[in-house]
Amino acid sequence: MVKRSDRRSENKRPEKIASGIINFDKLCGGGFNRDSVNLVVGGAGSGKTIFAIQFLIGGIKAGEPGLYITFEEKKEELYRNMKEFGWDLEKLEKEKLFVFVEYTPEKVRTMLEEGGGIIENIVQKNKIKRIVIDSITSFELLFDSEIAKREAALTLFDMTREWGCISMLTLERELTETDLHSVSSTPLEFEVDGIILLYFLRENGTRQRSLEILKMRGTTHSRKVHTFEITDTGIKIQEKGVENIKRMK
């Protein structure tokens, strides 16, 4: 098991990297922290997978190969859907800039027990700099106790940091108007560096997508809710925000 180490100096300003999400970096001081672990939370149709792939595409454009680990998405379907945004994942895969891995949650647990295993080999061989796990929801179900979940999460996060990668996890969670911040029931939220909430709420018979940065360590970030749209080139966030969901109408 990877031991948790103190990699951050309180006096050292973290290196920022561009997210690849249009206007997102303006909301959080220039982007994600280099060695951070970030959680994207939202329900079905909220845009989690698009957000995650766009994050990897942004890295590839900056010369940072990406690894996409999924428990649920099928390769052919994902590649076909992402072409709608002009992202040719098959071409990027052939160029060794994008790696798709369909894994079972059990294999990820084995990876943790082995201290990296196949995934570490992929990261080193392909010089991976950005990792997405889509989604982490199934992985959590492997552990009976909160302590076991937390230990597994810490080990996973430490591995990605030791590899020199920034990572993004998606979590399936419906966010409602009456319980907007209902993301505290899993140990993941306490251990990650950043939490991005994606809402897909119905207002007056129409659903509206919006985003909120709930947490981002070491960064002064927007505390407002920002609407966004899914365009033919990916997610585009509106810079102007509101104080809360109820004021979006």
Decide if 214 contacts 200 (C-beta within 8 A).
no
* 203 half-sphere exposure, CB direction, 13 A CA radius: 13
Tens of pLDDT, residue by residue over 124-153, are 999 999 999 998 887 778 888 888 888 888
Tens of pLDDT, residue by residue over 200-236, are 987 778 889 999 999 999 889 999 999 999 999 999 9
Split at pLDDT 50, 70, 90, the class of 4 is: very low
Given a cut of 60, whether residue 177 has pLDDT beyond it is no
Decide if 213 contacts 228 (C-beta within 8 A).
no
Split at pLDDT 50, 70, 90, the class of 73 is: confident
Q: Look at residue 51 and give its three-state secondary structure.
A: helix
Closest CA to 136 of 88, 171, 104: 171
- Pairwise CA distance, residues 128 & 160, whole Å: 10
Split at pLDDT 50, 70, 90, the class of 11 is: low
What is the model's pLDDT at position 76?
A: 96
Q: Going from the N-terminus, what domains does the chain have, and what CATH number goes with each?
A: 17-247 (3.40.50.300)
Given a cut of 50, whether residue 8 has pLDDT beyond it is no
In whole numbers, what is the pLDDT of the chain averaged over residues? 87
Q: Which residue has the tokens 């294999």?
A: 107
Query: What CA–CA distances, in Å, run from 38 to 90, 125, 141, 214?
Result: 26, 24, 20, 11
- Pairwise CA distance, residues 16 & 241, whole Å: 23
